[in-house]
Amino acid sequence: MSIEQTILKLREELRQHNYNYYVLDNPTISDFEFDQKLKELQKLESEHPEFFDPNSPSQRVGGEVTKDFKTIQHDYRMYSLDNSYSKEDLLDWEKRIKKIVDGNLQFSCELKYDGASMSLTYEKGKLLRAVTRGDGIQGDEVTANVKTIKSVPLQLKGNYPERFDIRGEIVLPIKGFQKMNEERISNGEEPYRNPRNTASGSLKLQDSAEVAKRPLECLLYSLKGPNLNIETQIEGLEKARSWGFKVPSEAKLAKSVDEILEYVNYWDKNRHSLPYEIDGVVIKVNSLFLQEELGFTAKAPRWAMAYKFKAEQVSTVLKSISYQVGRTGAITPVANLEPVLLAGTIVKRASLHNADQIEKIDVRVGDHVFVEKGGEIIPKIISVDLSKRGKDSAPTQYIDYCPECSTKLIRKEGEAQHYCPNYTGCNPQIVGRIQHYISRKAMDIEGLGAETVSLLVQEGLISDYSDLYELNQSQLIPLERMAEKSADNLIKGIEASKEIPFERVLFALGIRYVGETVAKKLAKHYKTIDAIINASMDELVNVEEIGDKIAESVREFFDSEVNRGIIERLRQFGVQLEISAEKLAHQTNKLQGRSFVVSGVFESVSRDELKKLIEDNGGKVGSSISSKTSFVVAGDKMGPSKLQKANALGIPIIDEYKFKEMLI
């Protein structure tokens, strides 16, 4: 046998043993025998570098150092999930689904693992890259670190697609977490707080050899890609398992909401018997065809729902109330608590939301309060234990003046929050606006973080986000922790932000109530910043999904001389303040005022491409047929109830080719 054949044989053997041990939990050789084979392979590869393979089992030991994790755009967006907490929530969800799709609904029920979301891309059976969830649109590439996780296959087996993504969670099993903490305590170090945060933090360690020492696992649950030849979610899980992925076996098919609840109740009681932490159950429409029919809202798939287990509650003491100022000037009262362990983390603070909430639960300093994590994420005070309240307790008096700049607070009629109106002189507002401007979903300025923004404002180098474009290296290098290379990267990051498209710039400006979706709608409708600046209240309200509150906020922002001055400076520096000519070339108003419902399978164009064509040409895509629908674009397998409803309402039904003629 040649050297190359010996190396290939050893790699295949080690892959199989690795799969048996970490995926099947059924080892067929001892750890010693595995290590001997691995050492033999490493020796041969070292002596014969011409046979190097980045996906060899020998590469799992780590050793690659990553200083900067590259930002990568996901091929398929990673959405969040809507949450439910009761049978009523699930029945409402089922009712919404039945309004959109036909047929007998079945659901996949899967455990909701509490870990770090991950997207793995495979090409020709080899791991191409691993990317964190990030903001769902783009994340950080952590391939070197993920390669060290033994349950992640570097080479697939069986009949797998040419290229696809698979989603899952990187988790730290409870036993492994406990062992890590025992070692830290014996070394006199602070123990880690919980498995989830430890798993997430592990993925961003710079030295992959350190990641390799941690007993991380990767549990997979969702396939994405073209031509997968899979019809259901459950079938997808089975296929992924056959290719070598660690797919937990607890998934189950349910045919009704009652069967879903049986599954939920079982795992709510038995979750502590699992080797991993879970915080609920994920329910999905099982048919992938129906998933495609249902589509997505701006934030979540319509075809999936997370059922969250009842949040854990604990009692502690409210020591004091402090007040935070946000970038819009909104004041948030914060409860400072006697530290308490809650759902695996030490909680010291909880939001009190606003003056109405404080008054509603009549919470006072010194009270014994009950705290829970909303959706097991954000701590909040639920109620007060009045039996333990002291006789000299006095009601909480909400502050009248800004805790940062001492300006008199205002509260607009019909609004819950108090605001500091000192827009240009209140430091947290100034810093907050700039931090929002540079954030990943906005201008995504690499090399510039929240702490650096605070430092730049503190040193008087910037006072608004347009000042960023005048910074130079000589100003930056003297700053704390700012070497020449860091300063150079920051300047390059600021320069690169000039290429960020207009809709994201509009979001970055930080106009109150103008989130990502609203910014896109305004940019698409008006095309340029000047058109928005000159739009009246009445004109703004006529834009789809723009109500009085948003329109009033937009007008207030652009009526400010300070803001208009900042916009002019951004214009001079070359920031994109209009939709690019290239993008405009693909957009028309040919379908303006028309609403389309897309249903079925198409030959010449994918459903997503069809929806994009509608929107790029000024039309609106609806999810269900109503009297406001202008046309139904029907493909193969269109549901009979949709056809019946369209005919009953007299709505024209056209095929993809007839639709394309409308664009000529």
Which residues participate in catalysis according to the annotation? 112
Find tokens 């039904």 and name the residue: 653
Do 148 and 208 contact (CB within 8 A), yes or no? yes
- Which two structure tokens, joined as six digits, stand for 26? 């059924």
Q: What is the DSSP string of 222-246?
A: EEE-SS----BHHHHHHHHHHTT--
Which one, of 106, 140, 125, 448, lies nearest residue 257 by Cα? 106
User: Cα(180)–Cα(191) distance, rounded to whole angstroms?
Assistant: 8
User: Cα(637)–Cα(599) distance, rounded to whole angstroms?
Assistant: 8
- Supply φ then ψ for residue 11, to 5 degrees: -60, -45
- Supply φ then ψ for residue 646, to 5 degrees: -60, -45
- Which two structure tokens, joined as six digits, stand for 64? 């690659």
Which one, of 593, 643, 597, lies nearest residue 617 by Cα? 593
308 C-beta neighbours (distance < 10 Å), count = 19
Element (H, E) at 19: helix 3-22
User: Cα(663)–Cα(455) distance, rounded to whole angstroms?
Assistant: 52
Do 486 and 447 contact (CB within 8 A), yes or no? yes
Three-state SS string across 263-288, please?
HHHHHHHHHHHCCCCEEEEEEEECEH
Q: Give me the sheet containing 83-84, strands edge to edge.
A: 83-84, 304-308, 278-285, 107-113, 252-254
556 C-beta neighbours (distance < 10 Å), count = 12
Say how far residue 59 (Cα) sits from the centre of its chain: 30
- Which two structure tokens, joined as six digits, stand for 82? 């809507």
User: Cα(444)–Cα(2) distance, rounded to whole angstroms?
Assistant: 51
- Which two structure tokens, joined as six digits, stand for 113? 């693992």
What stretches of 295-429 adopt beta strand conformation (E)?
304-308, 313-325, 331-342, 345-351, 368-374, 378-384
The DSSP symbol for 528 reads: B
- DSSP lists the bridge partners of residue 52 as none
Question: Alpha helices, DSSP H only, in 23-86?
Answer: 31-47
CA angle 383, 384, 386 (to 5 degrees): 140
CA angle 348, 354, 360 (to 5 degrees): 95
